[in-house]
Amino acid sequence: MHIFEGRKYKVIVMKKILFLGAIFIFGNILQAQTQGWLTWYELSGYLETPRYDKTIEYCKQLDNFSPLVQYTSFGKSPQGRDLPLLIIDKNQNFTPESVRASGNAVLLIEACIHAGESEGKDAGLMLIRDIVIHKKYPELLDHVTILFIPIFNVDGHERFSPYNRINQNGPKEMGWRTTAQNLNLNRDFIKADAPEMQQWLKIYTSWLPDFFIDVHTTDGADYQYKITYGMNVYGNMNSQHTDWQNKYMAEIEEMLKIDNVLIFPYVSFRQWHDPRSGLIHGIGSPRYSTGYSAVQNRPALLIETHMLKDYKTRVEATYHMIRHSLEIMNKDYEHLIEINKNADKEVASKEYREKELAVNYETSSDSSIVKFKGIDYDIITSDLTGDLWFVYGKEKKDFEIVSFEKQKPVDFVKLPDAYVIPVEWTEIINRLSLHGIQYKTIEKPIEIEVELTRFTNVSFARSSFEGRQMVQDMGMQTLTAKKEFPAGSVIVEMNQRTALVIAHLLEPIAPDSYLRWGFFNPIFERKEYVETYVMEKMARDMIAENPKLKVEYDNEVVKNPEIYNNQYAKLFWFFARTPYWDQQLNLYPIGKIYDLNQINYL
Ligand SMILES: [Zn+2]
């Protein structure tokens, strides 16, 4: 009886919920329609950006109203918010497989990775509405499927305040730069510590967008440009991709002139704040959005709107830049898809591994003179700090300025046919799948000839960075040895499209390798110690057996007084020459395999 009553009650409640839900959805559609589908930003007179709930509500309205839009979530944030994703497709294909089969190119637009930088959210919502509701630019969906993340850093977004961006001119209130765990998502692409990033990587690797636009607001100097941008055009991508991005940028620069939007490469002065020092460019490593896209063989655009322009100017400039990007992609989608596929094939090939791979770049001292549309400024000596104060005026001024943009590769690695990761390094193995990396697990212990690396003179960063203690510098010696790897260890073959991601993860010298990010820090710790009175005696026994040892020891101590400045250090010299010394200390556990024939997976 109770059960029956309970069920009846539930049915009534469910019906009520459905009814109220229908009214709610209908009410929202009605509300949006009566307001001409105006966004929160427009209704506020272009001064405000909507909170998380209002943003999601608008996204869901677009989904409810237009069959071309699907609202979905790609996971949950640490504070329990849905991570939102809108998929917009003319043929209502909403899965990576169906979109790929349709021949469309995929554009990923990401906003609010730094949640206080919200132009991408407001521009994106308006543009999608203008395409699917107002039918202003229906042709922008002809050959392109749009993935739109209106807010990536959802928890940081709700740390809402007028005081989150000290240099920035609006909106009235905004989100915070980092996540609830105080991680900067735009340093996390390759190390993938943040739960948000781990879930983002799953959608990224399943969709593999042909082009990726990441929208930010910059800090830095004053100038006339509404937008500065970053692209991988300085030599870290292959020539087809470099040419495509250069051509795209030249085209978009022309298109944006009509919209009165001036753009320029990301502005960074050689001496911070001092325009006289000249401009300097660099290559973003894979911790950043565009740097990560490059190692996934895909072009990307970093938009940095200029923080001193008012919010409306910034949102409109972003709107135009994304709209024109869609125009170019629609025109060039087949070629873009083709060069992406070519790059995938190229990095997986045997020939690719025969060349050395550059992993670190430095800005060369070659420079050129460029025209820079700046703002007039005075330099005064501050009576408060005693330092230079660049006081920007209101007058536009065109400068001729020295620019350093040429990059030279400085560190190279030799790529193996495969890497082997011992089973116990589970955190590393778990990260592989997040990046779409395929690997094979060995079922029985196996002895393989591998190339190993031993580190010397390892130094660490003095302070924590993104919750990790990074390795700053190290010497490396390579050795070849037969080594046994336990069952469950994994073989990561390089004949796959993620070869560059693998190399950047596992080659210690790479700028964002897992070794540099501190994933392997325990290997640098000495775990067994010797008592001085034991070693004092043993050292004498060793010298008695091999008198030459004393000569060697004396030479070392004289040569390196700063190292051998105490009893422990001196006795450790002998300890390291006993069979008790830990042979695994400073030894990188990951091996490089140059002969895959040695491996039988069973
Ligand atoms: Zn940013």
* Cα 81 to Cα 60, 196, 385, 394, distances in angstroms: 15, 10, 44, 43
Q: Is the pLDDT of residue 29 over 70?
A: no
Q: Each residue of 207-250: pLDDT tens digit?
A: 999 999 999 999 889 999 999 999 999 999 999 999 999 999 99
Q: Is 26 left (phi over 0), alpha (psi -120 to 50) or beta?
A: alpha
Residue-by-residue DSSP string for 78-108: TTS-EEEEEEE-TT---SHHHHHHHT-EEEE
* CA 185 to ligand 1 center in whole angstroms: 10
Please report, for the chain, the start and end positions of each structural domain, with discontinuous segments joined by +: 35-348, 360-409, 414-526+585-598, 532-575
- pLDDT at position 219, please? 87
* CA 51 to ligand 1 center in whole angstroms: 18
Closest CA to 573 of 538, 544, 601: 538
- pLDDT at position 55, please? 98
- pLDDT at position 598, please? 87
- pLDDT at position 1, please? 36
- pLDDT at position 220, please? 86
* CA 301 to ligand 1 center in whole angstroms: 13
* CA 116 to ligand 1 center in whole angstroms: 8
**Chain-centroid distance, C-alpha 46:** 30
Section 32-60 average pLDDT: 92
Q: Each residue of 411-449: pLDDT tens digit?
A: 999 999 999 999 999 999 999 999 999 999 999 999 999
* CA 117 to ligand 1 center in whole angstroms: 6
pLDDT band at 39 (very low <50, low <70, confident <90, very high): very high
Section 189-202 average pLDDT: 98
For 558, the 3-state DSSP assignment is helix
* CA 77 to ligand 1 center in whole angstroms: 19
* CA 560 to ligand 1 center in whole angstroms: 46
Section 378-393 average pLDDT: 94
Q: What distance in Å separates the CA atoms of residue 215 and residue 226, rounded to the nearest whole number?
A: 13
For 421, the 3-state DSSP assignment is strand
Lowest-confidence range among 43-47, 468-472, 561-565? 561-565
Q: Is the pLDDT of residue 406 over 80?
A: yes
Section 332-340 average pLDDT: 98
* CA 109 to ligand 1 center in whole angstroms: 14
Question: CA angle, corner 129, sides to 65 and 94, nearest 5?
Answer: 65
Section 41-64 average pLDDT: 98
* CA 149 to ligand 1 center in whole angstroms: 15
* CA 304 to ligand 1 center in whole angstroms: 7
- pLDDT at position 549, please? 96
pLDDT band at 497 (very low <50, low <70, confident <90, very high): very high
* CA 303 to ligand 1 center in whole angstroms: 9
Place of tokens 């450790």: 572
* CA 319 to ligand 1 center in whole angstroms: 17
* CA 121 to ligand 1 center in whole angstroms: 13
* CA 118 to ligand 1 center in whole angstroms: 10
- pLDDT at position 21, please? 52
* CA 432 to ligand 1 center in whole angstroms: 26
Residue-by-residue DSSP string for 303-324: EEE-TTS-HHHHHHHHHHHHHH
Contacts of 515 (CB under 8 A, 6+ apart): 471, 508, 588
Q: pTM to 2 decimals?
A: 0.92
For 399, the 3-state DSSP assignment is strand
Q: Each residue of 107-121: pLDDT tens digit?
A: 999 999 999 999 999
Section 180-184 average pLDDT: 98
- pLDDT at position 13, please? 46
* CA 184 to ligand 1 center in whole angstroms: 9
Closest CA to 507 of 190, 293, 204, 208: 190
- pLDDT at position 30, please? 53
* CA 601 to ligand 1 center in whole angstroms: 45
More confident residue, 11 or 454: 454
- pLDDT at position 89, please? 98
Choose which CATH entry (3.10.105.10, 3.40.630.10, 3.30.200.20, 3.30.390.10) describes domain 35-348.
3.40.630.10
Q: Is the dihedral of CA 18, 24, 27, 28 positive or negative?
A: negative
Closest CA to 293 of 350, 236, 362, 244: 236
* CA 186 to ligand 1 center in whole angstroms: 8
pLDDT band at 11 (very low <50, low <70, confident <90, very high): very low
Closest CA to 236 of 354, 409, 365, 403: 409
* CA 216 to ligand 1 center in whole angstroms: 4
- pLDDT at position 24, please? 52
* CA 316 to ligand 1 center in whole angstroms: 18
Lowest-confidence range among 16-25, 193-202, 378-387? 16-25
- pLDDT at position 31, please? 58
* CA 417 to ligand 1 center in whole angstroms: 37
* Cα 341 to Cα 255, 388, 491, 532, distances in angstroms: 28, 51, 24, 62
- pLDDT at position 289, please? 98
| Chain mean pLDDT for the chain | 93
Section 563-576 average pLDDT: 93
Contact 195, 78 (CB under 8 A): yes
Closest CA to 255 of 209, 307, 317: 317
Q: What distance in Å separates the CA atoms of residue 9 and residue 12, rounded to the nearest whole number?
A: 5
- pLDDT at position 215, please? 98
- pLDDT at position 33, please? 57
* CA 217 to ligand 1 center in whole angstroms: 6
